[in-house]
Structure 1
């Protein structure tokens, strides 16, 4: 069966949106997630949105025995692998946890896939693998380096995938390097629900707007950018989800496996922190008080993608703009001030 997909980490922020996109494209999905940084409620809402139950298996990506059982029970065409820890600060404090989950877990998954001859793999990588680029925009040929264990874990997996492709030429190993995912589903039913204080800018802005947090801290106002604040390539999570479907379609259409293939998913445009704050206020009418703070170690001035390869190979490009990102984020946050917590 060429349309059954295992989605690891499918209850998370990007995974849950991708489940909707996969369903809309005609794929059957099985979600595997340990719920360490996600919510079963997210999948309940996805099921309601697509009007179909989702097969869900709770388990850890390092549990080889459980993965073996799942692959015996299903005939998967491929795997989309989101099951990774993703907080930079936490990775610095707990590097072994990050390498165990993100690297060892991926090796376990790939070993089980190989045993069952399932060799279509879409990997959730990150623009952090580019480190601090010398020029912009960033294309897939740029040198890679990382400044924290989270980024190193993504880069380590990329190296593993490259070596795997050399050793066995039957794999499609499509590595999607995300830039900065933001936004929420247009229904307002699913969105980003970080544990504790958000690590990422957009949920922090929206939690200030909804009154959960008092003030946005803007780290650094002396970068060589349009207004001194950091510039990033923000991409709507719905566009990002569609990129995974297009990557699967690409794998299906190939007459010969592509091996290791890295592809950027970004808009190709950068927005500063203050530009995003202004856009959010204009889109929602909500004021977002902010204060400047010292730069964070490891942060870079500017980062945005060249997305030409995604357009050329996958026929994919981002369609939603900053205004859409802000409106959808606010629709989610205002309807769910406490995220997925069920009271």
Structure 2
């Protein structure tokens, strides 16, 4: 029987794409999500996961759950025999974290601690944690690589991710049987749908101009595409001026290279947005 893998926050954008890959690789993902960052839609599973099922021809096991509910987590681990956990669940907006820092520390830190404690109780010691490029703060050099120092975070979201990385490292130093990977998922920012998914929440007024956070002296907008109304707006609270990665290690260690350029990614994302103007919230 295939290994069961728990995916927290698995109904979101990156989570649902990960579930698709797990199914294709022969695993049995079990997804939990509380829909803070996504929209459920109709049916027994969220719309994003329904599309995963449609693409793979396989069923996705799903439970609506909050990682702050420790009793629910304990019940979940008693019901299943997980071989690993992929942890995406948490609050994730840089600007909002500046305005609501305690919410971010409570959900991201307390939720992760409860998840780790539950994993430990049930002998599950394999973890993939979805971190963030925000742990680097204002870059000392670009492109960023794995040797760049972390911890100079410019917002509570990034600090929460950095603290979690430190917690996991300390746990693994104390208990040598833990295996973990911290993937800084925003290096570079994920973009573009794969079949079923793009953004998973309401995207605002479909007819409103696109908003590009940055300097008024930024470039005039996309070239070689249809005329698109847009506005250059102020940088969001807590954002850094520039952040992009050197993908060399991923190529050397994993054989990964980017298949598409920026034009193709924008084209696919724009097509998805036209077909789903309010995200998954408008799906039946």
* Alignment TM-score > 0.5, same fold: yes
CA contact (8 A) 1:81 1:121 kept: yes
Q: 1:215 to 1:175 in 2, by over 3 A?
A: closer
Query: What is the aligned partner in structure 2 of residue 319 from structure 1?
Result: 259
CA contact (8 A) 1:8 1:82 kept: yes
Q: 1:214 to 1:302 in 2, by over 3 A?
A: closer
CA contact (8 A) 2:84 2:125 kept: yes
Q: Deviations over 1:220-257 (max 9, x none)?
A: 145xxxxxx4xxxxxxxxxxxxxxxxxxxxxxxxxxxx
| 3-state DSSP of counterpart to 1:182 | coil
Query: What is the aligned partner in structure 1 of residue 101 from structure 2?
Result: 95
Query: What is the aligned partner in structure 2 of residue 203 from structure 1?
Result: none
Determine whether 1:69 maps to 2:64.
no
- How far off is 1:214 after superposition? 2.6
Query: What is the aligned partner in structure 1 of residue 181 from structure 2?
Result: 174
Aligned partners of 1:172, 1:297: CA distance in 2, in Å? 35
CA contact (8 A) 1:216 1:288 kept: no
When the two chains are superposed, the root-mean-square deviation of aligned CA atoms in Å is 2.0
- How far off is 1:118 after superposition? 1.0
Query: What is the aligned partner in structure 2 of residue 220 from structure 1?
Result: 215
Query: What is the aligned partner in structure 2 of residue 19 from structure 1?
Result: 19
CA contact (8 A) 1:220 1:296 kept: no
Aligned partners of 2:78, 2:35: CA distance in 1, in Å? 23
Aligned partners of 2:7, 2:172: CA distance in 1, in Å? 21
TM-score (norm 2): 0.89
- How far off is 1:102 after superposition? 0.8
| 3-state DSSP of counterpart to 2:166 | helix
CA contact (8 A) 1:217 1:293 kept: yes
Aligned partners of 2:210, 2:180: CA distance in 1, in Å? 42
Aligned to 2:84, which of 78, 87, 92? 78
Determine whether 1:163 maps to 2:163.
no
CA contact (8 A) 1:193 1:339 kept: yes
Query: What is the aligned partner in structure 2 of residue 193 from structure 1?
Result: 200
Range with greater deviation from structure 2 (306-315 or 107-116): 306-315
Aligned partners of 1:88, 1:36: CA distance in 2, in Å? 15
- How far off is 1:129 after superposition? 0.5
Query: What is the aligned partner in structure 1 of residue 43 from structure 2?
Result: none
Aligned partners of 1:35, 1:215: CA distance in 2, in Å? 25
Aligned partners of 1:221, 1:287: CA distance in 2, in Å? 19
TM-score (norm 1): 0.74
The 5-angstrom pairing of residues 136-147 of structure 1 reads: 136-144=142-150, 145-147=152-154
CA contact (8 A) 2:94 2:237 kept: no
**How many pairs were matched up?**
274
